[in-house]
């Protein structure tokens, strides 16, 4: 019956390491996950925003400082011009003649007309100057009197008109020394920036002052000019920052996308792809390390895949995942053993070409392995046409006895499908010549305590199960010939079945089993 010994079938399902994976707690990531990340959570966006925010803050502070410094420089320059202009004008005034004029005003006196023409000429050469005037002191320290008031535009003071200087400390200071306002001041003649120079007699007595006004519009234009320059520089710097951020984002986004795509492929079980980032910076280094890891995983996957062809996929997964599984030794576990064999295999093996028989046998073993995997069973070994599998070791299987019985039923149904495919082959002819209408199997199932673990030596071992439970399952498989049944299981297995399966059970009584003194109650499906 077991004249031919073959390896595990090379179907992808049988060879796939790890068996049926446990349901993941969350979906495995893939390359499209990167597209589902909100734009403001993406690394290159947050990095660029952080850098851009700092740079924009620095630019804003620099722009504010630049504006203040620029405006201050412009204002200081304007004040200097005012100081020089008003001081020069005061030097050309005949102070004794002005002091001798009638306080009520003498606009037609030669001295006044000459000064008026001089003031007009100076105002005509400097477009920033709006008004030039000459004021004399009065008995009231807070009041001055107009002698001359030349205005480029707007209202001008009349000769002899009083002017209230009580709220203008700089103007009163200008009666003693050259003084310039530090900010705009407003009066009935408008808003302006002014400079003053005293008019003193040879004795040193001050009789009045010369004043020069720059209209507020000129000052605002100056401020606007500085602001425009500042904003232009700020805009150019901001544009350069945006371009730099865009370039930086691309330099970061590209390699991140490549590494993410490669990681997604590995997460999906594809270890062939590589990042292939030919850069000499940190991204290139990470990519090279990543490619090395992918190559190592590919090698490990190949080893596990190859290993899984010689041992059960579940055993391969456990050994590669838990290094303690590779040690010699075992543990006691309650398990259900299923032993299956092909009826009349030896006869067919003698009459069918070995190559054809191996193809048929591999197809049969591959199909049975699929069914066993689907029911969470673990194939311990193939012995020729026989299959030894166990439920509840090394993996944990709830209701393992019930799963084993349902697995036997599913194996019988799958065999019926295979028979329909083989009926016109040489194997089908040999079955009929040997008195069989189709290929048939016998299955024995028993539940109990086994010792499961690694058996052998330190250089060569296999995962196996030992104990009386294995022997009883094998004897029940052979007992099918005597009882003319196809699936037999013990009372220990029957006690663990649900009502649906028990309703399909046919008791076969107690039978002696070789190797045991007491008989075994057996049941058939």
pLDDT of residue 14: 39
pLDDT bracket for residue 44 (50, 70, 90)? low
Asked if residue 457 and residue 380 are part of one domain, the reply reads yes
Q: Which residue has the higher pLDDT, 299 or 400?
A: 400
Q: Which of 156-165, 186-195, 221-230, 325-334 has the highest mean pLDDT?
A: 156-165
CA nearest neighbour of 455 among 339, 311, 346, 272: 311
What backbone torsions phi and psi does residue 307 show, to the nearest 5 degrees? -60, -40
Residue 293: the pLDDT is: 73
Q: Are residues 62 and 208 in the same domain?
A: yes
Nearest to 469 by CA among 454, 487, 443, 450: 450
CATH label of the domain that carries residue 498: 3.30.70.1230
Q: Compute and round to an integer the Cα radius of gyration of the chain.
A: 53
Q: Are residues 389 and 325 in the same domain?
A: yes
Report how far residue 284's alpha carbon sits from residue 298's, in angstroms, rounded to the nearest whole number. 21
- Could you tell me the pLDDT band of residue 401, with boundaries at 50, 70 and 90? very high
Residue with tokens 């299955």: 443
**pLDDT digits over 415-458, tens only?**
999 888 888 777 777 777 766 778 889 999 999 999 988 887 77
Same domain, 213 and 69: yes
pLDDT band at 306 (very low <50, low <70, confident <90, very high): low
Per-residue pLDDT band for 269 (boundaries 50, 70, 90) equals low
Q: Tell me how far apart the alpha carbons of residues 340 and 2 are, in angstroms, rounded to a whole number.
A: 12
Paired with 72 in beta bridges are none
Please check whether residues 428 and 326 belong to one and the same domain: yes
Low-confidence winner among 7-11, 35-39, 44-48, 350-354 (lowest mean pLDDT): 7-11
Note whether 248 and 337 are same-domain residues: no
Q: 189 and 173 in contact (C-beta within 8 Å)?
A: no
Looking at the fold, whether 363 and 257 belong to one and the same domain comes out as no
pLDDT at 45: 67
Q: Helices 354-374 & 426-433, crossing angle to 10 degrees?
A: 90
- Unique residue bearing structure tokens 């203040």: 68
Query: What's the chain's average pLDDT?
Result: 79
pLDDT by residue (tens digit) across 340-387?
998 877 777 777 777 777 888 888 999 999 999 999 999 988 888 899
Please tell me the number of Cα atoms within 13 Å of 64 on its side-chain side.
Answer: 5
Q: Which helix (H) or strand (E) holds 193?
A: strand 190-200
Domain that includes residue 115, residue range = 29-267
Find where tokens 């303690």 sit.
324
- In this structure, the answer to whether residues 318 and 241 fall within a common structural domain is no
Buried b (16+ CB within 10 A) or exposed e, 65-101: ebbeebbeeebeebbebbbebbbebbeebebeebeeb
Q: Per-residue confidence at 322, pLDDT binned at 50, 70, 90?
A: low
End position of a domain, from candidates 267, 300, 318: 267
- Residue 47 forms part of a structural domain: yes
Check residue 345 and give its pLDDT. Answer: 78
Q: What value does the mean pLDDT take over residues 169-191? A: 83
Distance of CA 417 to the CA centre of its chain: 50
Q: How far apart are CA 432 and CA 434, in angstroms?
A: 5
pLDDT at 11: 39
Tell me which of 204, 238, 267 is where a domain ends: 267
Task: Give the pLDDT mean for 9-34.
Answer: 45
* pLDDT (average), residues 310-314: 56
Q: pLDDT-derived band of residue 310, with 50, 70 and 90 as boundaries?
A: low
| Shared-domain flag, residues 116 and 262 | yes
φ/ψ (deg, to 5) at 465? -125, 135
Q: Which of 309, 310, 417 is nearest to 364 (CA)?
A: 417
Instruction: Report whether 389 contacts 315 (CB < 8 A).
Output: no
The pLDDT value given to residue 3: 37
Which segments of 338-487 does DSSP mark as H helices, in order? Answer: 345-351, 354-374, 400-422, 426-433, 468-483
Q: How confident is the model at residue 49 (pLDDT cuts 50, 70, 90)?
A: confident
Q: Tell whether 216 and 328 lie within a shared domain.
A: no
| Residue linked to tokens 């050994």 | 319
Q: How many structural domains compose the chain?
A: 2
pLDDT confidence of residue 278: 66
d(CA 315, CA 378): 8
Inside any domain, residue 119 = yes
**pLDDT tops 60 at residue 397:** yes
| pLDDT for residue 61 | 78
Residue 16 clears pLDDT 50, i.e. is over it: no
Whether residue 23 has pLDDT greater than 50: no
Statement to judge: residues 344 and 232 lie in one domain: no
| Residue 9 domain flag | no
Question: Which pLDDT score is estimated for 184?
Answer: 72
Do 464 and 344 share a structural domain? yes
DSSP 395: S
Least confident of 63-67, 151-155, 244-248, 323-327: 323-327
Lowest mean pLDDT: which of 151-155, 182-186, 316-320, 381-385? 316-320
Q: What would the pLDDT profile of 491-521 be if each residue is shown by its tens digit?
A: 999 999 998 999 999 999 999 888 777 889 9
| Final residue before a domain boundary, out of 237, 267, 297 | 267
Is residue 279 domain-resident?
Answer: no
Does pLDDT of 307 surpass 60? no
Higher local confidence (pLDDT), 147 or 239: 147
Q: Which residues of 246-268 are buried (b: 16+ CB within 10 A; e: fewer)?
A: eeebeebbebbebbbbbbbbbee
CA proximity to 428, closest of 341, 354, 357: 357
Rounded percentage of the chain residues whose pLDDT exceeds 90: 29
Please enumerate in sequence order all residues whose Cβ is within 8 A of that of 139, keeping only pairs 6 or more positions apart, or say none.
none
CATH number of the domain that residue 229 is part of = 3.30.450.20
- Give a yes or no: residue 290 inside a domain: no
- 235 lies in a domain? yes
Asked if the bond preceding 432 is cis, omega within 30° of 0, the reply is no
Going 471 to 477 to 482 to 487, the CA torsion angle's sign is: positive
Q: Tokens 């009638």 sit at which residue?
A: 102
Task: Evaluate if residue 26 carries a pLDDT over 70.
Answer: no
Q: Please answer whether residues 418 and 364 qualify as being in contact, where contact means their C-beta atoms are separated by less than 8 angstroms.
A: yes
* Report for 12-21, 202-211, 341-350, 425-434: range of highest mean pLDDT: 202-211
Does residue 294 lie in a domain region?
A: no
pLDDT category, 314, cuts 50, 70, 90? low
Q: φ, ψ for residue 261 (rounded to 5)?
A: -65, -40
Tokens of 31: 């390359």
Identify whether 355 is part of a domain: yes
Instruction: Identify the top-confidence range among 52-61, 179-188, 198-207.
Output: 198-207
């Amino acid at each position: 019956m077991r004249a031919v010994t073959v390896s595990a079938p090379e179907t992808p399902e049988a060879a796939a390491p790890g068996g049926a994976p446990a349901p993941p707690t969350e979906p495995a990531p893939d390359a499209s996950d990167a597209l589902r990340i909100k734009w403001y959570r993406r690394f290159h966006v947050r990095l660029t925003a952080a850098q851009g925010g700092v740079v924009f803050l620095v630019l804003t502070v620099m722009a504010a400082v630049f504006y203040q410094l620029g405006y201050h420089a412009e204002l200081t320059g304007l004040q200097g011009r005012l100081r020089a202009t008003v001081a020069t004008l005061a030097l050309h005034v005949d102070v004794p003649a002005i002091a001798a004029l009638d306080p009520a005003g003498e606009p037609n006196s030669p001295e006044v007309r000459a000064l008026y023409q001089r003031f007009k000429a100076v105002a005509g050469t400097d477009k920033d100057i709006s008004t030039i005037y000459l004021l004399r002191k009065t008995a009231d320290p807070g009041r001055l009197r107009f002698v001359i008031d030349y205005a480029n535009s707007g209202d001008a003071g009349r000769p002899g008109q009083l002017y209230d200087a009580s709220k203008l400390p700089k103007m009163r200071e200008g009666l003693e020394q050259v003084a310039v306002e530090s900010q705009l001041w407003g009066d009935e003649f408008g808003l302006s920036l002014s400079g003053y120079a005293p008019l003193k007699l040879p004795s040193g007595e001050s009789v009045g002052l010369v004043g020069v006004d720059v209209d507020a519009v000129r000052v605002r234009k100056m401020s606007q000019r500085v602001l425009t320059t500042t904003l232009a520089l700020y805009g150019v710097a901001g544009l350069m920052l945006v371009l730099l951020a865009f370039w930086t984002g691309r330099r970061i986004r590209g390699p991140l996308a490549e590494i993410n795509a490669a990681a997604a492929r590995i997460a999906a079980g594809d270890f062939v792809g590589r990042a292939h980032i030919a850069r000499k910076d940190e991204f290139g280094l990470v990519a090279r390390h990543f490619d090395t890891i992918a190559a190592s995983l590919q090698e490990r996957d190949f080893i596990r895949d190859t290993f899984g062809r010689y041992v059960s996929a579940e055993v391969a997964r456990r050994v590669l995942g838990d290094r303690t599984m590779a040690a010699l030794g075992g543990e006691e576990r309650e398990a259900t053993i299923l032993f299956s064999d092909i009826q009349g295999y030896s006869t067919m093996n003698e009459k069918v070409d070995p190559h054809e028989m191996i193809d048929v046998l591999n197809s049969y073993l591959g199909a049975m392995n699929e069914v066993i995997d689907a029911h969470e069973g673990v194939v311990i070994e193939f012995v020729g046409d026989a299959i030894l599998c166990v439920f509840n070791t090394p993996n944990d299987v709830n209701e393992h006895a019930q799963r084993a019985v349902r697995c036997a039923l599913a194996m019988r149904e799958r065999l019926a499908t295979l028979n329909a495919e083989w009926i016109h082959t040489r194997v089908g002819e040999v079955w009929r010549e040997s008195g069989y209408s189709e290929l048939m199997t016998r299955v024995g199932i028993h539940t109990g305590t086994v010792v499961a673990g690694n058996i052998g030596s330190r250089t060569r071992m296999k995962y196996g199960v030992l104990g009386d439970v294995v022997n009883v399952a094998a004897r029940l498989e052979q007992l099918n010939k005597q009882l003319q049944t196809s699936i037999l299981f013990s009372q220990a297995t029957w006690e663990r079945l649900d009502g649906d399966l028990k309703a399909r059970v046919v008791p076969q009584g107690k039978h002696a089993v070789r190797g045991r003194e007491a008989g075994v109650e057996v049941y058939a499906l």
